[in-house]
Amino acid sequence: MSAPRSMHSSAESVATRPAIEVEGLIKRYDSRTVVDRLSFSIFRGELFALLGPNGAGKTTTIEILEGYRRPDAGTVRILGLDPSRDASELKRRIGVMLQSGGIYPTATPQEVLELFACFYPDPEDPEALLHLVGLDEVRRTRYRYLSGGQQRRLALALALIGKPEVLFLDEPTTGMDPQARRLTWSLLEELKRRGMTILLTTHFLEEAERLADRVAIIDHGRLIALSTPQELMRLEADHVTVAAAQPLDVDELAQLPSVHRVRELPDGRYVLETDRPIDALAEVTGWARDRRLLLTELRVGHRSLEEVFLQLTGSELRE
């Protein structure tokens, strides 16, 4: 009885349902609530970033979606399936990259890729994947002798070996050098173009800014913002940063017509908040000319995602 129904719902899901649905998710360890009424959906072909400080509940959330843990409350659907009940079907259709480890220390990249290829009905070619993640030259080097970045790239290749529809990446570029990180980013952009649905957690705002279609910021297990990176950065007014050879009068700056508020930074610069940056710029230069002040810096900028994050969570991202 249940088989035809689930076939029907999965046929329907291709057209209408999001790839990942999370509704009212709660997870407690003892009395500590680590995921607190989390809800979000991820559309097919979307790259979705889960951003938050250490201990925010990112890994717990992604591991519930991967089927490692059961939620205490709420529902989770991946491709319309339940990660616990439909585990064996889902495992053929998802790819997983753990936050660390997961690979035999004494096996080589070629060996583990060929092994994992045997687990899936229609795997990628291990050769091609080695090339794709740039591990051709170390294919016969044991995992424990690879650099941190090479180990992470092998973990990524293993996540891709089964041609997954949904890819879960827990801090994929942590421990990579800048070059490996850029290589991984362009790889993820390519996978996105091919239509893969990707959920990644990250500490790197630059990563979220560059790759993600949408970003969810979580802290203490709660969703505190969910939007495109561009929208998040537009949450607050733009600002003008100025600096001069001598200290400036904060009260006078604050009285300029387009300036809402002035902050003095510890390094001696001043940040003027405004929603009309062009007018503010003209007013500041006019004000400086009248007082014969030489401005050594004058810059209009958006807030970075980092600043948004700092304001929303009150804590800095740590690696």
Q: Which of 204, 197, 132, 142 is nearest to 173 (CA)?
A: 204
CA distances from 275 to 2, 235, 259 (A): 57, 11, 8
- Taking the C-alpha atoms of residue 147 and residue 180, their distance in angstroms, rounded to an integer, is 11
Pick 66 or 171: Cβ nearer another protein: 66
**How many chain residues are in contact with another protein, going by CB under 8 A?**
26
* Cβ count within 10 A of residue 49: 25
Report in angstroms how near the CB of residue 159 gets to another protein at its nearest: 9
Pick 120 or 222: Cβ nearer another protein: 120
The pair of structure tokens assigned to 311 is 């304001």
Strands 166-170 and 261-264: unpaired
User: Judged by CB under 8 A, does residue 163 bind another protein?
Assistant: no
CA distances from 253 to 64, 83, 96, 247, 290 (A): 51, 57, 53, 12, 13
- Taking the C-alpha atoms of residue 226 and residue 85, their distance in angstroms, rounded to an integer, is 29
How many residues comprise the chain? 319
Q: Which one of 22, 64, 158, 196 is in contact with another protein (CB under 8 A)?
A: 158
Report in angstroms how near the CB of residue 94 gets to another protein at its nearest: 7
User: Judged by CB under 8 A, does residue 160 bind another protein?
Assistant: no
Report in angstroms how near the CB of residue 263 gets to another protein at its nearest: 45
Report in angstroms how near the CB of residue 115 gets to another protein at its nearest: 5
User: Judged by CB under 8 A, does residue 139 bind another protein?
Assistant: no
Pick 29 or 230: Cβ nearer another protein: 29
Q: Which stretch binds another protein (CB under 8 A): 4-12, 104-112, 125-133, 236-244?
A: 104-112
User: Judged by CB under 8 A, does residue 109 bind another protein?
Assistant: no
Pick 115 or 300: Cβ nearer another protein: 115
Pick 57 or 67: Cβ nearer another protein: 67
Q: Which stretch binds another protein (CB under 8 A): 10-18, 109-117, 218-226, 290-298?
A: 109-117
Taking the CA atoms of residue 133, residue 138, residue 142 and residue 148 in that order, the dihedral angle to the nearest 10 degrees is -50
The pair of structure tokens assigned to 60 is 């717990």
Angle at 141 between CA 111 and CA 110, to 5 degrees: 20
Q: Which stretch binds another protein (CB under 8 A): 6-14, 111-119, 208-216, 252-260?
A: 111-119
Interaction residues for another protein, span 38-97 (CB under 8 A): 66-68, 88, 91-92, 94, 96
Pick 120 or 293: Cβ nearer another protein: 120
266-275 burial, b at 16+ Cβ within 10 Å, e below that, comes to eeebbbbbbe
Q: Which one of 162, 221, 229, 277 is in contact with another protein (CB under 8 A)?
A: 162
With contact defined as beta carbons under 8 Å apart, do 47 and 36 qualify? Answer: no
Site for another protein, rule CB under 8 A: 66-68, 88, 91-92, 94, 96, 98, 100-107, 111, 114-116, 118-120, 158, 162
